[in-house]
Amino acid sequence: MRQSMTRAVIVMAVIGFVAVSQALAAGTPAGTVISNQATVNYTDSNGNPLSVVSNVVTTTVSQVASVTVAPDGAKNANPGDTIFYAHQVTNGGNAGDTVNLAAVTSNGWVTALYRDNNGDGAFDAGDTPLTDTNGDLVPDTGALAADTTIKILVAVTVPPGTADGTVDTMTVTGTSVFNNAVTDTATDTTTVAAPDVNVVKSVSPAGPQPPGTTLTYTIVVTNNGTGNADNVVVTDPVPANTTYVAASITLNAVSKTDAADADEADQGVTTPGAVTVNAGTLAPTATATITFKVTIN
């Protein structure tokens, strides 16, 4: 009976040792030596207390890599804009590591990586491009101690002329240099808000007309996009075989002069022989209506 109890004590001691080792390994610094030695207490037939110790068992904690890139981001942008997404890159491993970084967009847009030196999440003069610190030709965080974080900014440039409503997905990838199989990604979604201007011109009266008839031209400019259309200028030459009717220009039903003065329109000044109207900025869904008159010679 006593021998059975002794074996049970030894088995329980070994089981307990293994369980503790597994629980501590994931967060214990690499290189840490975990050691343990079992002690067995017993008595002889005369009741004398005795003890014996086992050999010492040791385990050296190996390095484990862990990388986190967060958070995901989403923004709207205009064509030609360069926008910045803020991320945190964390070495969650149990030893120092360097994290290689890359940013690739679904539309092949130009990207750049910066260290957010003041940690404010916005690009400013103190922020510097990430460089290759370990000679593997990939920009990286530099050496990061275990459980430390670096703040970065990822820039993406929307090409001029990008269509309204275009959606781009940028994937920012962090890769452990210690173990290239360990990676993490953050996703940044950029939606383009661009103007989409449509112009329709009509004439009244319509159809064949005899000489001496006064024609009224109506030009309707509409922004069907989700971004502002700025500096909208309409130029319409006075047709051959007609004579412009003086002071006949209107913008959104407001009369304008023919001279190059403080109002938004002129005739023959900005562009010789043409009506020119500066409609300014058209917000999404906004419309500008321009009219002017000519007489058939």
Tens digits of residue pLDDT in 28-47: 999 999 999 999 999 999 99
Burial class (CB in 10 A: 0-12, 13-18, 19+), 267: buried
- Tell me the percentage of the chain whose pLDDT exceeds 90: 91
Q: What is the mean pLDDT of residues 55-83?
A: 96
pLDDT value for 238: 98
Amino acid in position 171: T
pLDDT value for 250: 98
pLDDT value for 20: 31
Burial class (CB in 10 A: 0-12, 13-18, 19+), 55: exposed
Of the candidates 289, 191, 283, 192, the one whose C-alpha atom is nearest the C-alpha of residue 229 is: 283
For the four alpha carbons of 116, 117, 122 and 126, in that order, the dihedral sign comes to negative
Least confident of 25-29, 44-48, 91-95, 96-100: 25-29
Could you tell me the pTM of the whole model?
0.77
pLDDT value for 2: 40
The average confidence (pLDDT) of the chain is: 91
In the predicted structure, residue 75 carries a pLDDT above the cut 70: yes
The alpha carbon of residue 228 and the mean position of all alpha carbons in its chain are separated, in whole angstroms, by 21
Tokens at 116, concatenated: 């957010």
pLDDT value for 27: 84
In which residue are the tokens 């990586």 written? 113
- Tell me the percentage of the chain whose pLDDT exceeds 70: 91
With bands split at pLDDT 50, 70 and 90, how would you rate the model's confidence at 142? Answer: very high
- For 14-27, the pLDDT digits (tens) are 333 333 333 333 48
On whether the CB atoms of residues 211 and 295 are closer than 8 A, the answer is: no
- For 238-247, the pLDDT digits (tens) are 999 999 999 9
Q: What is the mean pLDDT of residues 159-181?
A: 97
Least confident of 14-23, 61-70, 148-157: 14-23
